[in-house]
Chains A and B, each alone.
Chain A
Amino acid sequence: MNFDDALPTFINEGRELIEEMERALLSLQHHPRESDAVNAVFRAAHTIKGSAGLFGLDHVVAFTHVVESVLDEARSGKVVIDESLIATLLASGDHIGALLDVVAAGRAEPEAALTRKAEPLLAQLTRRLRAHGSEITAESGHAPTEIDPGGGDTGLWHISLRFGRSVLCNGMDPLSFIRYLGTIGRIVTLVTLPDALPGPAEMDPECCYLGFEIGFCTQVTQATIENVFEFVVDDCAVRILPPNSKIEAYLGLIHQLPEDPTRLADIFVQCGTVSARQLADALQSPATDVAMHHTDFVSDKHGGVRHEPANTADAKPQHGLGAKAKECPSVRVDADKIDHLINLVGELIIASTSATLAARSTQNGELHEAHSTLSGLVEELRDSALKLRMVKIGATFHRFERVVHDVSRETGKDIKLVVNGEDTELDKTVVEKIADPLTHLVRNAIDHGIESTALRAERGKSARGTVRLNAYHDSGSVVIEVCDDGGGLDRERILAKAADRGLLEAGRALTDREIYALIFEPGFSTADRITNLSGRGVGMDVVKRNITALRGSVEVDSTAGLGTMVTVRLPLTLAIINGFQVSVGPSVFVVPQEMVDECVEFTCEAGQNYTDLRGAVLPFIRLREQFEIGAPPGSRQNMIVVRVGAHKFGLVVDRLLGESQTVIRPLSKMFNHVKGISGSSIRGNGEVALILDVPALMAHACLSQAPSTEAAQVAPAEMRL
């Protein structure tokens, strides 16, 4: 197995570990003495360093090592964890993330700018260590010497020498080569192997039987090292492994050498070029198939190392390793595989629908029954397949603790984040794409929403501001709310600003919601001063665009003096829906089931586009007119009442065909401009059904009702019915 294939996994895991680290750090802020959290942070840093070492990412190892040293001291209580250290560690986590990004981008080394950025961090970290007189000492796993925190080479070259018998007779002495080696670098560790010495009787004192395993610290290239042995190359087996080589290289070398693998593994660890931890990690890493054969001596190794006081650094993380395995009983699967599965389930649904249709045409009761069982199972299968893509939003929410921490530090406000509905699940792609817009909203809430501590005191509010994140499921969509208990939006200022920018139609009275919706207009910012964080007028319109791109919507509500609430509504998933089929003439349309409120018989005065639904006015759209379907209406028409958020309206159709599962297929680009259709679906009988874009139709229904179309364009986000 190629290690490069494992690199993306390493990067993903690295990022997750950084998140974990961040979470633990933030919890330390409130409970500075919690040793679990310190351990979690240490474990995360340690694991990143270990894995980075496996991949030969020296710069990551070098930086993480310093972080880890500080954390190790923190674990033993020698370094006190205070707010400034937490801030430094958070920034360090960011830097590690940036280094991983560099790796992910396929570059070997970070740019000088990034390295320079890390210098103050390193200085802060090393100051912590020096404060109580501890040196940054490396663990044997990477460099038993001092680490150059500037990102220098921290790993050891492993040089394995087996001299040939005739070396001494030829007038060469291994001694001189090793002495020479010492001039181009530092021989950190060296083990002289007498294993090849035969019994005293057979031993020819003029033959050379010596072998050496060397841990070598140098800045020179592999070629330079090889040159040292140039004269002896015919007479000596020279094997050189660069620092932090892949574990399989070490394993391979161990097996090439004539000595007993267990003994060699011991020696390698003794040399410091590979750690017992790394050998153990090899078992956990995706390269398991390579390492598996060597399980025996690797586990041997652990026993050995644990009794060796010099290697305590190696022994310590052992319990952490076990704990980690317990924490994540999950399987990592390629997103492509899941997509393929979901596609297949989609096909299965279509096939099963058509089979059911075929069965209906027969009078075979048994067949009907079999099909009803089958459709039940298919439905369950669909749900489970879709759930594979579903992730809890909690992880995203917890990221905001960091945002809140940073922003409140910057603004000097005291802010508490309250999170609700972390278990709400939604599609992974949606979660990924919603993170940025949500970050904007949270930053905005803190920066603009919540007043300064002084002003809060003046208004009789608690000094500590609260930002609330809330998520829940509501009729087939996920609703995410971002609320603050700040001053609320300034209605008058928004109006003034909108008038300035010519966004207002004279003489048109806007509702509060319509006014608030103006903040999503491009270039609209009411902040008096531009801060670091927000107020540049970019942001809210981008937020809206991103959410709309996910087929979601965003609304804002505010009460002066009490706070603001932004509500984001997102579709649960993007692949398969429960649809309600209706027909108009020969055409079949699908309405997402969650939006269907009820079906009623259509009665209306001709020429009107509203009707009376149990005493309430209900606007409606005639799909026949909307889509210009030529076929004449039948004697009876039906109306389905659909609901979007709090608003209802009717769709007039000919026939109601009933509920069915619908696999959403995107429309080709050619139909991009078609309004009111969000996709297509293939029916059991092979016909195409169009999926109605209900929110778009609703917007249309409102437009045709609005007194002035221009005025309606001012506030397209908010429609009153």
Chain B
Amino acid sequence: MSSATLRLDGEFTIYRAAELKRQILDALHQQEALEIDLSAVSEIDSAGVQLLMLVKREAEALGREFHLSHHSPAVLKVFDLFKLSIYLGSPVMIRSCSVATAVPPPSRDRHEF
């Protein structure tokens, strides 16, 4: 079983949506479990959000594990607005994720992008 953490940084917006879609889906297809580290995301928009929703649905369809972690304040703000905390991860987890030790990182290999 393989698992990976995909660390996104910078803008997670429509301008990079096509590129990120490919990257994330590729990573998902290669791994049994995928974690997306959002700590370095400086901005996220609706395109980013719907992409994450697509990935989550796809992961469920494929039977893969999929987590988001280390939500940056920008991400939390948008998730809050869209009330997606529950859909894309438990709110308690998300809040506590700002402290790295609160959630044991399931990752073994860490891919940097």
Contact = CB atoms under 8 A, between A and B. Distances in A.
A197 B47 CA distance: 11
A79 interface: no
A210 B50 CA distance: 7
* Among B51, B54, B58: residue with most chain A CB under 10 A: B54
Contacts of B25: 200
Interface string A451-484: 0000000000000000000000000000000000
A309 interface: no
Interface in A197-235: 197, 200, 203, 205-206, 208-210, 212
Interface in A65-102: none
Given A175-B78, A200-B25, A205-B18, A192 B58 contact: no
B46 A205 contact: no
Chain A contact residues: helix, strand, loop or mixed: loop
User: Contact residue range for chain B?
Assistant: 20 to 34
Interface string A165-176: 000110001110
B12 to A, nearest CB: 11
Contacts of B113: none
Given A179-B81, A192-B53, A206 B46 contact: no
B60 to A, nearest CB: 12
A190 interface: yes
A262 interface: no
B111 interface: no
B53 A194 contact: yes
Chain B contact residues: helix, strand, loop or mixed: helix
B54 A168 contact: no
Interface stretch (B34-42, B82-90, B100-108): B82-90
A190 B14 CA distance: 22
B53 A189 contact: no
B57 interface: yes
A179 B83 CA distance: 12
A192 B47 contact: no
Contacts of B47: 168, 173, 205-206, 208
B82 A168 contact: no
A197 B51 CA distance: 9
A168 B51 CA distance: 13
B91 to A, nearest CB: 14
A476 B21 CA distance: 89
Contact of B83 (A192, A197, A206, A208): A192
Interface residues of A, number: 24
Contact of A192 (B14, B17, B49): B49
B54 A210 contact: no
A203 B45 contact: no
A182 interface: yes
Contacts of A178: 81-82
Contacts of B78: 175
Contact of A197 (B45, B46, B53, B81): B53
A191 B17 CA distance: 23
Interface string B47-77: 1011101100110000000000000000000
B82 A190 contact: yes
A173 B46 contact: yes
A187 B81 CA distance: 9
A210 B83 contact: no
Given A192-B53, A194-B54, A206-B17, A168 B81 contact: no
Contacts of A206: 14, 17-18, 47
B93 interface: no
A662 B63 CA distance: 85
B83 to A, nearest CB: 5
A182 B17 CA distance: 26
Task: Identify the 9 closest CB pairs spanning chains A and B, nearest first.
Answer: A205-B17, A194-B53, A205-B21, A190-B83, A192-B82, A174-B46, A173-B46, A175-B46, A168-B14
30 contacts: A163-B46, A168-B45, A169-B14, A173-B14, A174-B46, A175-B45, A175-B78, A175-B81, A182-B81, A189-B83, A190-B82, A190-B83, A192-B53, A192-B82, A192-B84, A194-B50, A194-B53, A194-B54, A197-B53, A197-B54, A200-B21, A200-B58, A203-B21, A206-B47, A208-B47, A208-B50, A210-B46, A210-B49, A210-B50, A212-B82
Interface of A: 163, 168-169, 173-175, 178-179, 182, 187, 189-192, 194, 197, 200, 203, 205-206, 208-210, 212
Interface of B: 14, 17-18, 20-21, 25, 45-47, 49-51, 53-54, 57-58, 78, 81-84, 87
